[in-house]
Structure 1
Amino acid sequence: MKAIQLRRISHVGLRVADLEEASRRWQIQFGLSLRERTSTHAFLHCGYESYSLELMESGNPGYDHTAYELSAEVSISDAAEYLESKAIAYQTENGSLHLQDAEGNKVEIVPYAASSDLRPDVARSTKILPGFRPRKLGHVNYLTGKLREQVEFYTDILGMKITDKLGTEGIWLHINADHHVMALVNKGYPHIHHFALEMVDWGELRVAFDHLAQHGRWLAWGPLRHGLGRNLSGYVRIPEEGCFVEIFCDMEQLEEGHVPREWPDNAHSSNVWGILPPRSYFRFDEAAIRSEKEGLEAQGIPLAPLEVSK
């Protein structure tokens, strides 16, 4: 029996309030291109991939799922057989497997799709792609209240490998040479934190941040340089779909046989330039959004603790 082996992250799915508005917004603000549009779905891509963002006009706006592509050595039927051997419930829909992780986050497993052109994107020709666009979808990050169970699911079931540990509260996981395809941070409750779009270099990050600022967006944290992961990045708040988008470049590339590292849970590990995120960075309520947008913390107006209903 073949264990599940993943090749890459395929796409992220978001539920939106207005498909036309959201599709235009993600195209104009983040440089994505429309691949296909139906009455209920829009599929957006960065460059030459099929798509990286699926928007759906269904249910309450917010994060819906993350999809991963299988390696060439593992078929969908192989993956289904492996899930059955592990007693993991799944459904088959349109040739993909749909399941849930330990906290109910939806996961889609899609079959391997060989590229019709193996050349790098800069060597190809296009008549439709805009000059400003992300290079690719890079990773997702979840807040969790079940760190151990989530790590077990993504390593034992989906075959991810641990890259790094941040004290006892954070785990970063990889499936290829990119430092991570997923991170899990223990905050006591489950919530998507961000998905990440990769740019080529620091110059493109500057262009992206200037562009987003002109559309009323702001950085909740950044620009910064992570110690853990090495990437340059900034985190853009998306109130409409209840998440952040990380715009990043210069991610650490792992050598074969990488050994997981233990990082101290301090400011330098999170940001070698020294600034930790504001308290609002791990929250998605209206008070946190207002605090960020109006710079209240910098004015000495603290963010009140989040009231958790029991």
Structure 2
Amino acid sequence: MNEPAARLRSLRSVALRTPDARQAAEFYEHVWGLDTVESDGGAAWLRGTGQEHHILELREAERNALGKIAFSVGTPREVDEAARRLTAAGIALVAEPGRLDRLDQAGGGYGLRFADPENRLVELSAEVEAVVPGDACGREAAPRKLAHVVLNTVDIDAACEFYTTVLGMRISDWSEHQMAFLRCNTDHHVIAFNQAEWTSVNHVAYEMPSIDHFMRGIGRLRHQGVTPLWGPGRHGPGNNTFSYFADPAGLVCEYTSEVEQVEEDAWLCRVWRRVPELSDLWGTAGPPSKDVRSHMAGIPDAGRWWEK
């Protein structure tokens, strides 16, 4: 493509498919700190304290899998232009531009959907319904927004080429040639790719408003009997705090805060060595255990669920 299909404004939401969506929704609302904005049979949509109608969608499925990743664009006209550019580049649309409620999507909006090279569903949307903002800086230890999604890929170079060329994302940093961190705004990364044996969800990260909210969130989970798989600590790439947990289905979810902000004209991409002192700058978490790595590997996800 001569130019990206669209200018992405932010990572809007992620959809996860899981064998017990009701149990997952209870965990993310009553333990994790999100609020359910709508539910319908085997699906639920949950929000943080930020501006997005929802940041997590949960749907019933036979096994854990990625449902979709949604990015925001500025206007319906940009959605229409993205459709033209995608089609011209030979990228087939899974859903043509139109109102998203026709696709059983809570929050409405105008958007389109297409698949990336590893059959992940990607949505571009505009004019999603507004919600009353929560008190993001209040006492409650609740996630403000979706921080990033890390995806396991069988070809990290091809994944980076697609998301930078087609979606205009920029690579902020590398963790050797094992992980790539991509941004679409000033956040250091909203997507990261991890070279792996199969395609799957590695983890989903939720941003807390401050390091105090981050630590109090960890404390609340401990009182619920949920202890970290790894963390708390602070990563080198992105300079963000981290604490990883497993939801009832075994999918990895992360609390994070203080994600590094990129000054576009001054930023230089770096390559970080994969050593404990750079994976955790605090030195509190140590290297990830075999159990953590097993959870983050997930199960093979061939995608294209919408054709089944």
Higher Cα radius of gyration: 1
1:26 paired residue number = 28
| Deviation, structure 1 residue 9 | 0.7
Matched, 1:103 2:118: yes
TM-superposition CA deviations, 1:250-286 (whole Å, max 9, x none): 111111222322222322321113321112222139x
* Structure 1 ranges of 4+ moved more than 4 A: 112-117, 120-124
Q: For 1:175-214, list aligned pairs within 5 A.
A: 175-214=184-223
Does residue 76 in structure 1 map to residue 91 in structure 2? no
Question: How far does residue 131 in structure 1 lie from its aligned partner after superposition?
Answer: 2.9
Contact 2:65 2:200 in 1 (8 A): no
When normalised by structure 2's length, the TM-score is 0.82
The total of aligned residue pairs comes to 281
Which residue matches 1:5?
7
CA 1:61–1:167: 2 relative to 1, 3 Å: closer
In structure 2, runs of 5+ residues without a counterpart are 101-109, 300-308
**What is the CA-CA distance between 1:51 and the residue it aligns to?**
0.6
Match for residue 296 of structure 1? none
Among candidates 264, 279, 286, match of residue 290 of structure 2: 279
Q: Are the aligned partners of 1:63 and 1:243 in contact in 2 as well (CA < 8 Å)?
A: no
Unmatched 5+ stretches in structure 1: 290-305
1:301 is aligned to: none
**1:36 corresponding residue in structure 2:** 38
Determine helix, strand or coil for the equivalent of 2:186.
Answer: coil
Superposition map of 1:1-310 within 5 A: 3-47=5-49, 48-72=51-75, 75-92=78-95, 94=100, 95-113=110-128, 122=135, 131-240=140-249, 242-257=250-265, 258-274=267-283, 275-284=286-295
The alpha-carbon distance between structure 1 residues 228 and 189, as it changes in their structure 2 partners (threshold 3 A), is same
Deviation at 1:96, TM superposition (A): 2.6
Partners of 2:95 and 2:114 within 8 A in 1: no
1:192 aligns to what SS in structure 2? strand
Q: CA separation of 1:133/1:83 partners in 2, compared to 1, >3 Å: closer, same or farther?
A: same
* Alignment CA distance shift 1:262-1:123 (3 Å): closer
- Paired residue type of 1:23: A
Greater relative contact order structure (CA < 8 Å, 6+ sep): 2
Cα distance between partner residues in 2 of 1:102 and 1:218: 36
SS at match of 1:189: coil
The structure-2 alpha-carbon separation of the partners of 1:2 and 1:100, relative to structure 1 and needing over 3 Å to count, comes to closer
Deviation at 1:163, TM superposition (A): 0.4
Question: Given the superposition, is the C-alpha separation of residues 26 and 164 from structure 1 closer, same or farther in structure 2, using an over 3 Å criterion?
Answer: same
Pair 55,130 (structure 1): closer, same or farther in 2 beyond 3 Å: farther
The CA RMSD measured in Å over matched residues stands at 2.8
TM-score by length of 1: 0.81
Q: Which deviates more from structure 2 when the two are superposed, residues 246-255 or residues 20-29?
A: 20-29
Q: Which amino acid aligns with 1:101?
A: D
Q: In structure 2, how many angstroms separate the alpha carbons of the residues matched to 1:280 and 1:83?
A: 40
Q: Using the alignment, how far apart are the partners of 2:165 and 2:82 within structure 1? A: 13
Percent sequence identity over matched residues? 30
Give the drift of 1:122: 4.7
d(CA) in 2 for partners of 1:167, 1:224: 20
Counterpart for residue 303 of structure 1: none
Question: Match for 1:251: what amino acid?
Answer: V
Q: 1:74: Cα distance to partner?
A: 5.8
Look up the SS of the partner of 1:245 in the other structure: strand
Find the residue that maps to 1:195 and give its secondary structure: strand
Q: 1:103 touches 1:146 (CA, 8 Å); kept in 2?
A: no
Paired letter, 1:256: E
Q: What is the Cα deviation at residue 50 of structure 1? A: 0.6
Matched to 1:221, the amino acid is W
Q: 1:88 to 1:110 in 2, by over 3 A?
A: same
Query: 1:134/1:16 Cα in 2 relative to 1: closer, same or farther (>3 Å)?
Result: same
Alpha carbons of 1:60 and 1:137: their partners in 2 closer, same or farther (altered >3 Å)? same
- Assess if the C-alpha contact under 8 Å between 2:94 and 2:115 holds in 1: no
Aligned-partner Cα distance in 2 for 1:20–1:196: 20
